[in-house]
Structures are given as C-alpha cells and as structure tokens.
Amino acid sequence: MKRHELIVIGAGPAGLSAAIEAKKAGMDVIVFDENARPGGQLFKQIHKFFGSKEHHAKERGFRIGEDLLKEATDLGVKVKLNSVVMGIYENKEVTVRNGDEVDHYKADYIIIATGAAENMIPFKGWNIPGVIGAGAAQTLMNLQGVQPGNKILMVGSGNVGLVVSFQLLQAGCEIAAVIDAAPRVGGYGVHASKVARTGVPFYMSHTIIEAKGEDRVTGAVIAEVDDHFKPIPGTEKDIDCDTICIAVGLSPMSQLAHNATCDMITDPKKGGTVAKLSEFGETSVPGIYCAGDVAGIEEASSAMIQGRRVATRIAEEAGYITKEKFDENFTDYTNALGKLRQGMFAPQNKGRNDWTVTDEGFPISHNLLKKGFVSNDEIKGFPAATYKKAGVHPIIECTQNIPCNPCQDACPIGLINVGENITAIPKVDMSKACIGCGMCVASCSGQAIFLVDDERDDGMATVSFPYEFLPAPKVGDKGTALSRSGEKLCDAEIVDVKKNPKMDATLVVTMKVPVKYADTARFYRA
C-alpha cells in the first residue's frame, strides 16, 4: 500500500488548483485522473472567462489550463493519468485501477474533485448517431479538430448551450435553432446575443419530440410546451438538421462521496445530489473534502477558487501553515468566490424567473429572454448602450448583472467604470473622449461592446465590433451588416481591422454603413 498525505481525485480546474495550493504549503500530494490528459474541461474552453483579474477574466479557458499545468509541473505535483479511482474506504484507503492493475493507497486527507456529468433527455430517436452532448461536441471541435455536424439543433439555452453554439459557428457549422423548454434563456444574455446576431433563431418554451432518421440524424421535430412542460398538440415544427446537441444541464459526479459514506443531500440549486459540506468544504467523514462541480454546479472560475480554499484548510489542519496564514488565505478566497456569487446568476438565484429590473433599476429585456437579443426599443433604457458624443464612442450592450469587469481594466483612459461590485452594469464617463483603441471591444468576455462614429461628414457611420471567425475580413471587403437579431440591414464595407497580441485572437473589425443604421448594425456577413 502506497501512502500520501493528500490524494486529489480529479485533475480538472478544482483538483489542480487544490494540488498546487497544498504543494506550495509543502504537502506530499498525488492527483489521480481517469482521462488521458489533465485539465478537465478547461482545454475545451476557447472562450474568454468572466469575473475580474483574480478570476482569470478575459483569459481563454485552455490558456488557464496551460498555466495551471505549468504551475503544477514546476512545483513537482504528481499527476497520474488513465487512473480510475474505484472506491474510497474506511480510514481513507483508496483503490485505483492503473491499466490492468489495481493499486491501494492511503491518505491523511482526500479531496474529491470529480466534476460533473452531462444530463440527457429521452425522446424518440435519442439514441441514433448524431445525437450528442454539448461536451462531446466541444471535445470533437476543440480537442480533436472534427466538425460534429453541418447543421445543428441546440437543445438547451444555458451557458453551456450558448457557448457551444457559438463555438460550433466558429467551427464552420450552421445552427438551425436554439430551443429550450424553459420560458426564458437560461444563460448570460451576452452569450445569447452574440449567437442571435449571427441569425440563429431562438425557440423558448419548446422541446424536442423526435430525432428523425434510422442510422443517422436527418432532421428533428420540436413542439411548444405548456406551463407544465407538456408538448402542445398541433405546435410541432420540422427542423432541418443532421446533428442534435443536448445541453440540458450537469449533475455532480458525487458517487465517490456516497461510496465513502459521506452524508448526502439533494439540492436542485447545486445540480442534484451532493455531499453535505462544512463551510470549509469538508464532508461528514473527517479528512474527506469536496471541491468544484462535485460540490455544486458553478463556473470553472469558482471551481479553481474552491480548490485552493479547501487545500489551504487542509494545509492548516496538517500543520503546514499557521492559523493566521490560513485565516488570511481563507478570507481572500472566500471574498473572491463571493464576487462570483452575486447578481442574477448567483447559485442562490437559480430557478428564479421573477426579475423585473436590474440592480440599478433598468427594466429587464423581455425580448432578450425570449428571443436572445435586446430589441431596439429596450436598448434605449440602458444609458451605456445609448451614449452619444462626437467622434468615436463606446456603446455597451451589457444589460444583466453578471460578474465581469475586464472592460474597466482595458480602457487606458478610464472611460468605462464598473466599480467594486463586478456584477454592476458598466457606466461610461461622458466627460472623457474615447481614443478608439478598441481594447474594451476585444477584452469584453461577452462581446457586448461596440465603437460607433455616427457624426461623419459623408452621411455614413462606422461600427467597430468583436470578430472571432475565419476567414478574417480584410479592409475593402464588402458584405452585409446584420442587426442584433441577425436580420440583414444594409450593405457594409470593412474599413479597418485591428489585431493586437493583447487582444488574444479577437479582432476589432470596423464596417462603414449608412448613418441611419449606426444604432442597429452589430455584425457583418461576407
């Protein structure tokens, strides 16, 4: 039997972060992961994270994964891959299958960081080729370089469904529609908006009835649902698609905690059945802790902080850091986690549908919740989205209280302000003049900032917007300007393309359109 002070199960964002924290304190740490490579879901995440600097805001997930792996490697953290933890037994004994052998380990402390699994829903034809989970689609695209399909129906409008829809578009796929049985879009409005402006339709209060085809998907049937989520006869619609992508939530993979005889609870706000935890993340079995999605479904940013917070507690328990140092670390991590757990999408607000105004008193966009984009009339209720000044000026179409503030840090002249509460809707200081650098546009994790110049002498306006598709537009290219809903508005010409290493592959593309479309043109199609 092999012995280690700390065994971490799972090399995802929570597990790696925990191992790094414990190793820094001087502990003997080993990490087991059943996959062929560490990093968990991070290496599938090509989008920019939300939060603030301390949460890796505006960094892409796979880059965060690379940084975590480097830090763990430099510290000498032992990570055993293709290692399946089979069970946790009395006195914190762990059995691990490595190839054809089963090894026994014993630890003083164990952190379970096994993450979550995708939920699936049964419907006619749900088991034929072409029906896949959103995570599987990300694996195909972002790890294996394979298009999951040509035309995809996305089932689910939470952050996973919206993010994967956009990544499918980036991979050259067409999104036939985004549907959800819920009456409103479940994820961040900015994620929905960047999908909608490409022309993707949203069908809320709709579910999938059938996947057509025998040996592969050849189409789908969806239908509207009533208040009890039952399909309404006569509302069926045929959807032309060759792939159906399921993104209907995640469930904590808490089997090992249950196996270890930890007290379990079922909490819908945490995503299902989880171990009952103390404020320090400890289960009812002394010395066994949980961190990350296995403790309750949240974003990867939260998982990393949880991992470090749990590990600093263990380091103090094991005598590697002082009580004073633990108090300092724990307070810092708790505060960082608290910033992410504010606003409309905080864990405690999961399932709420009664929002009428933002924290600032701005009316909630009902069109955004139903169709994925803010209407022209609704956008007028947000000062930062209707900012007017001679010359180039920012238009910020961020209309929900989500935890994010990279725009504030990106502006070199302090024109944009979020404040200490990172869920506040950004404000624009009208006393300052925008220099048109485009850093706020490129840094916005939700792609919700535009630069507009609508007081030119030639009756035209310029609109600068974020662009993350290939091939990239070139100066002189001509195409079509699209509205927030993806509607074709007018002819457009590309007049500038900004690319900067600090923008991390987000281009700031400027198109010229007739001045009457300055307030509505938000995307470009070649």
Give the pLDDT confidence of 478-504 residue by residue, as tens digits: 999 999 999 999 999 999 999 999 999
How many other C-beta atoms are found inside a 10 Å radius of the C-beta of residue 39?
Answer: 23
Which residue type is seen at 28?
Answer: D
Give the residue-averaged pLDDT of 136-142: 96
Which pLDDT score, from 0 to 100, does residue 5 have? 98
CA distances from 453 to 34, 147, 465, 499, 518 (A): 53, 38, 12, 20, 8
Would you list the DSSP string of 206-248? EEEEEEE-SSS--EEEEEEB-TTS-B-TT--EEE--SEEEE--
pLDDT above 90: percentage of residues in the chain: 95
Pairing of strands 151-155, 243-246: parallel
The residues pairing with 462 across neighbouring beta strands, listed in sequence order, are 453, 512
Residue 202 or residue 455, greater confidence: 202
Which residue type is seen at 286?
Answer: P
The residues pairing with 35 across neighbouring beta strands, listed in sequence order, are none
The residues pairing with 523 across neighbouring beta strands, listed in sequence order, are 482
The 3-class secondary structure across 463-481, one letter per residue, is EEEEECCCCCCCCCCEEEE
83's tokens? 């290692």
Which residue type is seen at 285?
Answer: V
417's tokens? 């302000």
User: What proportions of the chain, in percent to the nearest 5, are helix, strand and coil?
Assistant: 30, 30, 45
Contact (CB, 8 A) for 290 and 279:
no
Confidence label for 328 from pLDDT (cuts 50, 70 and 90): very high
Can you say whether residue 505 is alpha, beta or left, with left for phi > 0 and alpha for psi between -120 and 50 degrees?
left
pLDDT above 70: percentage of residues in the chain: 100
Can you say whether residue 261 is alpha, beta or left, with left for phi > 0 and alpha for psi between -120 and 50 degrees?
left
Which pLDDT score, from 0 to 100, does residue 455 have? 85
- Pick from 65-74, 342-351, 371-380, 436-445: least confident: 342-351
pLDDT digits (tens, 9 = 90+) for 146-199: 999 999 999 999 999 999 999 999 999 999 999 999 999 999 999 999 999 999
Contact (CB, 8 A) for 331 and 338:
no
Which pLDDT score, from 0 to 100, does residue 86 have? 97
- Is the pTM above the cut of 0.75? yes
CA distances from 197 to 202, 242, 311, 402, 482 (A): 11, 23, 43, 20, 7
CA distances from 407 to 48, 83, 395 (A): 13, 42, 12
Which residue type is seen at 231?
Answer: P
- Taking 90 as the threshold, does the pLDDT of residue 266 lie above it? yes
| H or E, element range at 348 | none
Size of the chain in residues = 526
DSSP 143: I
- Taking 90 as the threshold, does the pLDDT of residue 107 lie above it? yes
Contact (CB, 8 A) for 83 and 32:
yes
Confidence label for 456 from pLDDT (cuts 50, 70 and 90): confident
Identify the three-state secondary structure at position 28: coil
- Taking 90 as the threshold, does the pLDDT of residue 138 lie above it? yes
CA distances from 504 to 69, 370, 396, 443, 499 (A): 20, 32, 20, 9, 9
Pairing of strands 288-290, 101-112: parallel
Confidence label for 389 from pLDDT (cuts 50, 70 and 90): confident
Q: What is the mean pLDDT of the chain?
A: 96
d(CA 497, CA 515): 20
494's tokens? 């590309």
Pairing of strands 93-98, 83-89: antiparallel
